């Protein structure tokens, strides 16, 4: 089996749990995922099947989320799964105030990942250190948020704002929730999170495990083509015998002198793999055929 599964990850499952479940259902050893999702998050989790695991490094990094941020609450994990460390009624914050504050989180921003995250410091995961009671602050990272749009606003003792966020790889939505609360002086935490797009895959086209099991039982399941999420890369078609030489690991003369990574196809539209051009030469990076 060779291709991708666009999985709609269920609540409470780790990304590793999803890989293990997929491996069991498909009876397939080589399974991997792109873009880890927290257990409390749901939505798009791209799963690579078979040799497609070798393509994970070439997937685009852009992601999109719908999140609910609750003001007036701070937790150890920056979401509702953690222990509450501060809580106060919020009565002086308006939608316009929140809208203005959210503008600070667009563009390239500095972000400190949550203490409970998979980031490694000195070779150790932050969540492992946090569970042992060790306080280690993750290094500041530069991430990019392309757009934040307010979807809904609910007033109350602990107001909530629903937002749609489009961002680059490595962005922690929990950190945005925490830092928004800091900017407003209220404290804030992530109350709910759904990933609506990741690495070229969309929520509308995703399958739940129930969907997958039903398709497997009906023998209708087909993995998505391996190049489906690589459309951001330019492509080149090789005619014979150049395609055979390239598949054997040989460099091919290329008319373009630019340096770029691209998809490589045979004349019959078979996807052959990933190549790189430089100084008029097409070099194989990943041969799949």
Query: How many other CB atoms are there within 10 angstroms of residue 39's CB atom?
Result: 16
Between CA 93 and CA 101 the distance in angstroms is 11
Which residues are catalytically annotated? Answer: 38
Between CA 189 and CA 215 the distance in angstroms is 38
Q: Are 32 and 56 in contact (CB under 8 A)?
A: yes
- Burial (CB count within 10 angstroms: exposed 0-12, middle 13-18, buried 19+), residue 28: middle
Taking the CA atoms of 57, 62, 68 and 73 in sequence, report the sign of the dihedral they define.
positive
User: Looking at 41-136, which runs of residues are DSSP E strands?
Assistant: 42-49, 63-71, 73-75, 84-87, 107-111, 120-121, 124-125
């Amino acid at each position: 089996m060779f291709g991708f599964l666009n999985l709609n990850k269920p609540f409470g499952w780790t990304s590793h749990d999803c890989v293990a479940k997929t491996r069991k259902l498909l009876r397939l050893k080589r399974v991997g995922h792109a873009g880890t999702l927290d257990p409390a998050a749901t939505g798009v989790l791209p799963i690579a099947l078979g040799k497609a695991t070798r393509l994970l490094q070439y997937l685009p990094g852009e992601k999109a989320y719908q999140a609910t941020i609750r003001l007036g609450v701070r937790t150890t994990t920056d979401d509702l799964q953690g222990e509450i460390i501060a809580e106060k009624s919020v009565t002086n914050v308006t939608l316009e105030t929140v809208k203005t504050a959210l503008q600070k989180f667009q563009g390239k921003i500095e972000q400190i990942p949550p203490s409970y995250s998979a980031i490694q410091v000195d070779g150790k995961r932050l969540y492992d250190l946090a569970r042992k009671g060790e306080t280690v602050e993750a290094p500041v990272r530069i991430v990019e948020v392309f757009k934040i749009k307010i979807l809904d606003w609910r007033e109350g003792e602990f107001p909530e704002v629903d937002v749609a966020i489009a961002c680059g790889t490595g962005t922690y939505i929990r950190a945005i929730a925490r830092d928004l609360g800091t900017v407003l002086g209220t404290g804030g935490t992530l109350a709910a999170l759904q990933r609506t797009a990741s690495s070229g895959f969309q929520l509308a086209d995703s399958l739940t495990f129930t969907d997958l099991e039903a398709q497997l039982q009906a023998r209708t399941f087909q993995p998505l083509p391996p190049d489906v999420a690589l459309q951001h890369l330019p492509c080149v078609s090789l005619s014979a015998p150049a395609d055979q030489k390239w598949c054997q690991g040989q460099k091919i003369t290329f008319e373009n002198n630019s340096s770029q990574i691209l998809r490589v196809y045979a004349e019959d539209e078979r996807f052959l793999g990933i190549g790189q051009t430089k100084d008029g030469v097409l070099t194989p990076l990943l041969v799949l055929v």
